[in-house]
Amino acid sequence: MLKKLLEADAIGLRLEWVGGLPLWEAQPTYRHQKAVDRIRQSLRPKEGASCACVHVADVYVRFPDGS
């Protein structure tokens, strides 16, 4: 699976899982990335909360249930 993901990345595609279904899509454009960064930089912890914000962009995430 990792080999396929790396091959896809090399040609500008990525695999996302949506509702349990695999979806190949083109990498986001520069304009999209600028908007994502602007939004990401605006995130702040809720006042009085003991947790911190973690900013992560364009990564593959595997949840505890395996999805």
Write the single-letter amino acid at 46: K
- What is the per-residue pLDDT for 59? 77
What region, left, alpha or beta, does residue 10 occupy, with left being phi > 0 and alpha being psi -120 to 50 degrees? Answer: alpha
- pTM passes above 0.85: no
DSSP string, 4-21: HHHHHHHTTEEEEEETTE
The string of pLDDT tens digits covering residues 17-57 is 888 888 888 777 778 788 888 988 888 888 888 877 777 77
How far apart are alpha carbons 38 and 31 in whole angstroms? 11
- Name the nearest CA neighbour of 34 among 14, 57, 9: 57
